[in-house]
Each structure stands twice: as C-alpha cells, then as structure tokens.
Structure 1
C-alpha cells in the first residue's frame, strides 16, 4: 500500500501507530527527530508523513516537503496535545489529530489523504 513516515520521540505512541498502520497494509518508516526524517526522505519519498508537533518545527516540515518533486508533495498529519490546531506550524499540515492519537481517526485520515492524492479532483482541506 502506502509508505508512511512516522516521526516522534515517544516510543510507545510510535509503536502503537506503527502496528496499527502496518496491520492496515501500509509500509512504515520511523524517525526520532527531524534530521533522521530528512535522511529518510532523501532516499525514497513517503506517501504521507505523520509527525508529533513537538518534533518537527516549521522549517523542518518545509524542508521535508521540499524533497518532493514539484506538484508531488506529500500530505502531513500533525499529532498534537491540544484540542485545536493552535500549533504555529499547523498551517503546513493537511490534517490534525489530538494526542493520544485516535488510531481509528488516523486510519481514516490516511485513507482519505491517499485517496485525494490518487484522485486530485477530490481534494478538500481538513
């Protein structure tokens, strides 16, 4: 299915998300910080990035997205502790999930973003 890059410093949360996404048929890559994430996308681009808002800042998100070919960017799902996307770099994300991450909500968002990526005419902002 899709290649998903999970970026976060909380091993338990990353493990739960990784197992859930793998059981849904996705290939998962994990990174603990923005440098590791940048190294991973310099090889093979993910289809989606799921990141904890505490790990990647606005510049790191921009650098990650710059690695994509023009017109072929990848969606970013931002995980955050707050109930609303008040994070300063939330505007760079395509979707938002409050921690502790609702696995079902995340799986739904991943499916929607993959569908939108495969069918650009159906794109709508979350």
Structure 2
C-alpha cells in the first residue's frame, strides 16, 4: 500500500485529503508543521509527500531542501501560492510537481499517482544509449535523432534542451533550471528563449506541434518529457 505523508495545517483539508486518499487505498499520515513532517519523513519513509508551503513553524521550501538532503521521495507541493516565482523556487529546491489551491481532487490524485510511478521507474542510467518513442528515437551517445527513418537536424542548443528533458522522463524541470543549464546564469529570467526553442523542437519531433504528446508545458512552471 502506498504511504502518503500530508503536510498541511488546515484540519478540514487534511480530513478531506485523508478521506479521498484512503478511499483509493492509500495509507495516510499527516503533519501540521515542518518539524513533525521532517521527523515523519525520516522515520516512516513515506512513498510520496503532499506539502503545503505555508506552515506555522517554517517555510515549505525549507522542508523540501531538508528532505532532499537525505532522499529522493517524490514531493508534490499543494499551495495557495500561485506566482511563477513561488513555483520555480519550489521546483528548484527539489519538488517534483506543483498544484495550486483551489484544486481538483481528481487532478491531485492523477499527479500523485504519476509521481509515485516515476519514483518506481528508474531514470535512464549512464548505460542507456537509445530512447525510443512511437514517433522518433534519440541516440544519447551519437547525439542523433531519427524520425520516419531520417535524421532530424538539431542545433546544439536544441539538442542540449532535449537531452536534459529526455534523460529525466516524467520529471517537471523548471524554466529557470533549463535556462541556467542551457544558456547560463545571465539568462535565468529569459523565458522567451525557452518558448522559441521548445516550439522549434516540437515542429521537428511532434506529429501535432500545437498539441504535443512528448514535450509538455506546465504553464508558469516548466517543461517535462513524457515518453
């Protein structure tokens, strides 16, 4: 049974989450503050953490950082903070996904199940050399992409961007992280660069670039590759 640690100081919301999660066969534990959350995360080894950022004793970002010092348990942020800056801070600290309040229970459950699945499926190791989808293949060693039996010409920047996403399948990578890794520290706020290059990649790789199947945008947060 999947064990969920809910870190939230609103008792009504905790009760609602507990009812919905237990009805779907999740085991639920809860904490109302960051200190208790860190103790339970260390001693009870949850399979996934659902975390509010506005806790009474410490900021949720600090909880994420502390958890990340010792493990890779998936962390799904559930917060009323909805600005891009808040989302990027959480993702850069190590959160795996971000859902804003008010939220759909069905969406939250879908995101939670996806986070658990990703944690159970190991990311490609250094020995992984070929990533295959229904529409294209990516050779990580030769740095080549093939689609419909033909090589796809990518610029070095397009390749670097694709490589980061495709070697972290299913993981949401923040805009800021992509900008820093691909373009460097002076481009951390140049989100327009990402939009341009992601559009180019989709034109080259997606069957329907306006409705991408593989290169997914999470508005205001970042991008993910779904294989």
TM-score by length of 1: 0.85
| Contact kept? 1:51, 1:76, Cα under 8 Å | yes
Question: 1:114 is matched with which residue: 89, 113, 116?
Answer: 116
User: Residue in 2 aligned with 1:76?
Assistant: 75
Q: What is the root-mean-square deviation in Å for CA atoms of aligned residues?
A: 1.9
Q: Which has the higher contact order (CA 8 A, sep 6+)?
A: 1
Computing the radius of gyration over CA atoms, which structure comes out larger, 1 or 2? 2
State the partner residue of 2:9: 9
Unaligned runs of 5+ in 1: none
The answer to whether 1:97 aligns with 2:99 is yes
1:58 paired residue among 50, 57, 61: 61
Q: CA deviation at 1:40?
A: 0.8
Q: Give per-residue Cα distances to partners, 1:54-80, cap 9 Å, x unaligned.
A: 124322221123333xxxx11111112
CA shift, 1:9, in A, is 0.8
- Structure 2 unaligned blocks of 5 or more: 124-167, 173-227
State how many pairs are aligned. 122
Instruction: Verify the 8 A CA contact 2:51 2:60 in the aligned structure 1.
Output: no
Instruction: Give how far 1:85 is off.
Output: 4.5
Alignment deviations for residues 83-120 of structure 1 (CA, whole Å, 9 cap, x no partner): 45431632221111111232111110111111111112
Question: How many Å separate the matches in 1 of 2:29 and 2:89?
Answer: 22
Provide the TM-score with structure 2 as the length reference: 0.49
Q: Distance in 1 between matches of 2:2 and 2:85?
A: 28
Q: Distance in 2 between matches of 1:67 and 1:41?
A: 10
Structure 1 residues 60 and 51: alpha-carbon distance in aligned structure 2, compared to 1, 3 A threshold: same
Change (3 A) 1:59 1:41: same
Distance 2:18 2:69 in 1: 25
Contact map agreement 1:41 1:67 (CA 8 A) in 2: no
User: 2:169 maps to which residue?
Assistant: 123
